[in-house]
């Protein structure tokens, strides 16, 4: 013990990023390597599970070796092996889970199982931000391609799911709307770029609040509204009607983005108020969106709350956040064994659904 930092190796393959990272004391990122598969899935307009799994198999060892080589540490300096084992595509999760179990067994190190969504929340604590005092209690918005979740956290390990999407995730809505607008895959960043040139008040797309006080989300309506709007204006280029102009596209993108962000921000602040949380966390792929970040910063300032947003490089999937959260689990002796298996669902959400049944 003493001054020697705790170094954890994190692995991640839940969707279409293969990632490995070494993190010291849950905060200092020694190395973070991510192999993206965007090019492989581009022609299908979405992630194809079999293709993702095959690419993870090809990428996992090179990514692992790179993460170790950049720091120049071997097994003796590594205190634990952590892996995101849920939620995600089972075939994809299996690759990092198998790799982590093998390393934990061969190296004789503790194995730590991480919930991918909890690790997105943890990503806000990487690097300097993790040094800030009294980060908890906090309300956290985790917005990704697969999930839109609100958590109330007393500490990194005690997280309560307080809101979730009933249909599309925010990132999914960005990706599908980008597809309607014929933007390149993945849609989120492309749509944000286009929206910067548009007028967010050009089209009044619906904001779905699901009843007064609800902390849940629904984003399939706004995506469908974009589709119908384009069809209604005969903008989709079928049947010899004119395609939409670049400015029209930009206005639709900006208006769509504003509708999504308004709901995300309103509900996050409602949750912060209800749970009396002085701090708000923002993480997940969609948290890279600058309009979302700026609007949430502004609204938090108005209410005297502190916003801690993940650094943009740690918003999309990575393994540093996995190793970061694992530090707290290791300290609390929350260790898995070699029977660990991938699990496609969010256990938090599954628990809520079971209770309701
Ligand atoms: O967290 P992430 O890398 O993967 C999942 O766990 O799903 O999130 C990916 C999602 C995609 O839907 C992508 O379009 C979206 O995040 N995204 C963005 C931006 N960057 C990534 N959405 C809006 N604006 C962005 N700048
Ligand atoms: Zn993610």
CA dihedral 175, 151, 134, 279 (to 10 degrees): 60
Q: Where are the domains of the chain?
A: 7-126+315-347, 132-309
Domains 7-126+315-347 and 132-309 share a fold: yes
| CATH fold of the domain at 132-309 | Nucleotidyltransferase; domain 5 (3.30.420)
Ligand 1 atom with the shortest distance to the CA of 16: 4
Burial group, residue 234, by CB count within 10 angstroms (0-12, 13-18, 19+):
middle
Ligand 1 atom with the shortest distance to the CA of 120: 1
Cβ(127)–Cβ(27) below 8 Å:
yes
φ/ψ region of 81 (left if φ > 0, alpha if ψ in -120 to 50, else beta) reads beta
Q: If you search the block for the tokens 């979302």, which residue do you land on?
A: 292
Sheet containing strand 7-12, strands side by side: 28-36, 17-24, 7-12, 80-86, 111-115
Global pTM? 0.95
**DSSP string for 195-247:** HTTS-TTSS-------STT---B--HHHHHHHHHHHHHTT-B--TTPPBPPHH
Token pair in block for residue 62: 């090179």
Q: How far is the CA of 120 from the centre of ligand 2 (A)?
A: 7
- Which of these, 31, 10, 37, lies nearest to 145 by C-alpha position? 37
The pLDDT assigned to 234 comes to 67
Using DSSP bridges, classify how beta strands 17-24 and 111-115 pair: parallel, antiparallel or unpaired: unpaired
d(CA 67, CA 81): 13
The pLDDT assigned to 277 comes to 98
Residue 130 DSSP one-character state: G
Residues 6+ apart with CB under 8 A from 304: none
Rg (C-alpha) for the chain, rounded Å, is 21
Q: How far is the CA of 295 from the centre of ligand 2 (A)?
A: 22
* Ligand 1 pocket at CB < 6 A: 15, 144-146, 171, 174-175, 186-189, 192, 284-286, 288-289, 316-317
Domain 7-126+315-347, what architecture? 2-Layer Sandwich (3.30)
Give, for all 357 residues of the chain, the pLDDT tens digit.
558 999 999 999 999 899 999 999 999 999 999 998 877 777 777 788 888 889 999 999 999 999 999 999 989 999 999 999 999 999 999 999 999 999 999 999 999 999 999 999 999 999 999 999 999 999 999 999 999 999 999 999 999 999 999 999 999 999 999 999 999 888 999 999 999 999 999 999 999 999 889 999 999 999 999 999 988 876 776 655 568 899 999 999 999 999 999 999 999 999 999 999 999 999 999 999 999 999 999 999 999 999 999 999 999 999 999 999 999 999 999 999 999 999 999 999 999 988 877
Choosing from 14, 116, 145 the residue with most ligand 1 atoms within 8 A of its CB, the one to mutate for a pocket test is 145
Closest ligand to 119 CA?
2
Q: How far is the CA of 73 from the centre of ligand 1 (A)?
A: 32
């Amino acid at each position: 013990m003493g001054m020697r930092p705790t170094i954890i190796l994190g692995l991640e393959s839940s969707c279409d990023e293969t990632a490995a990272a070494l993190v010291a004391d849950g905060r200092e990122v020694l190395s973070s390597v991510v192999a993206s598969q965007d090019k492989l899935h581009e022609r299908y307009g979405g992630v194809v599970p079999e293709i993702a799994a095959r690419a993870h198999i090809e990428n996992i060892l090179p990514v692992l070796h790179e993460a170790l080589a950049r720091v120049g540490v071997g097994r003796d300096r590594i205190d634990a092996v952590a892996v995101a084992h849920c939620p995600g595509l089972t075939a994809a999760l299996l690759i990092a889970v198998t790799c982590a179990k093998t390393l934990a067994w061969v190296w004789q190190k503790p194995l730590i199982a991480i919930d991918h969504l909890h690790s997105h929340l943890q990503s806000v604590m990487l690097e300097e931000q993790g040094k800030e005092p009294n980060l908890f209690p906090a309300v956290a918005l985790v917005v990704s391609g697969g999930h839109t979740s609100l958590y109330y956290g007393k500490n990194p390990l005690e997280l309560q799911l307080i809101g979730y999407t009933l249909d599309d995730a925010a990132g999914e809505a960005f990706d599908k709307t980008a597809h309607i607008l014929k933007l390149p895959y993945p849609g989120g960043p492309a749509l944000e770029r286009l929206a910067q040139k548009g007028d967010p008040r050009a089209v009044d797309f619906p904001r779905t609040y699901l009843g007064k006080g609800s902390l849940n989300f629904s984003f399939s309506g706004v995506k469908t509204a974009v589709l119908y709007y384009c069809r209604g204006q005969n903008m989709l280029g079928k049947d010899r009607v004119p395609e939409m102009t670049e400015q029209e596209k930009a206005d639709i993108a900006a208006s769509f983005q504003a509708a999504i962000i308004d709901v995300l921000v309103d509900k996050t602040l409602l949750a912060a108020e209800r749970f009396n949380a002085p701090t708000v966390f923002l993480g997940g792929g969609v948290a890279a969106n600058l309009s979302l970040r700026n609007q949430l910063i502004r609204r938090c300032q108005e209410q005297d709350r502190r916003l801690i947003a993940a650094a943009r490089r740690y918003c999309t999937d990575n393994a540093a956040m996995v190793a970061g959260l694992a530090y707290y689990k290791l300290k609390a002796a929350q260790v898995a064994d070699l029977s660990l298996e991938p699990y496609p669902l969010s256990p938090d959400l599954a628990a809520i659904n079971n209770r309701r049944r």
